[in-house]
Amino acid sequence: MGKYQVEEPHRFDLIQELVDHFLRTKTPILSNVLNSILVNPIGRQKWELRHSDIELTKRLGAGVYGEVYRGKMKRKNHVIDIAVKSAKTATLTKEGAKEMMREARMMRSYNHPNVVRIYGVALDDDPIMI
């Protein structure tokens, strides 16, 4: 049974499936608010990655709040080698998630040969990945 829902009976395995359903059917998201209909989807930013495009291949290290992996990421028509920082869901607090997002936001602005380039953040599912 799906883990995402707004109201019964609709349950979905992925948030994207939930959004797609309400966009496609044009039914109210909340039954008691008739004008709660999704009309204009907001596109995904270039830095907003999908978990399904990331493959973790080898664990490289770990800390209190996360683990670092070697991995691969699917881009439009090719695959690139990446390093992935993955949050440990069991120890990630709300403040820890905010800190990861601050780190990602800061790293997006860097473009230097001696600084690891960030492609983005995967937030659709657990764990959060940078």
**Residue 68 near residue 47 (C-beta atoms within 8 A):** no
Tokens linked to 89:
């869901």
CA gyration radius for the chain?
Answer: 17
Which regions of the chain carry the CATH code 3.30.200.20?
A: 48-122
Return the top range by mean pLDDT from 7-11, 62-66, 76-80, 109-113.
76-80
Structurally, what CATH architecture does the domain formed by 48-122 represent? 2-Layer Sandwich (3.30)
The C-alpha atoms of residue 122 and residue 23 are separated, in whole angstroms, by 22
First CA to last CA across the chain, in angstroms?
A: 29
**CA torsion, ordered 45, 48, 53, 56, to nearest 10 deg:** 160
Residue 1: what pLDDT? Answer: 63
In tens, the pLDDT along 91-122 reads 788 888 888 889 899 988 888 888 888 999 99
Say how far residue 108 (Cα) sits from the centre of its chain. 16
User: Nearest 5 degrees, angle CA 15-CA 7-CA 48?
Assistant: 15
Instruction: Check whether 126 has a pLDDT greater than 80.
Output: yes
Residue 89: what pLDDT? Answer: 81
In tens, the pLDDT along 10-53 reads 888 888 888 889 899 998 988 888 888 988 878 888 899 999 99
The C-alpha atoms of residue 39 and residue 23 are separated, in whole angstroms, by 7
Residue position matching structure tokens 């008739």: 34
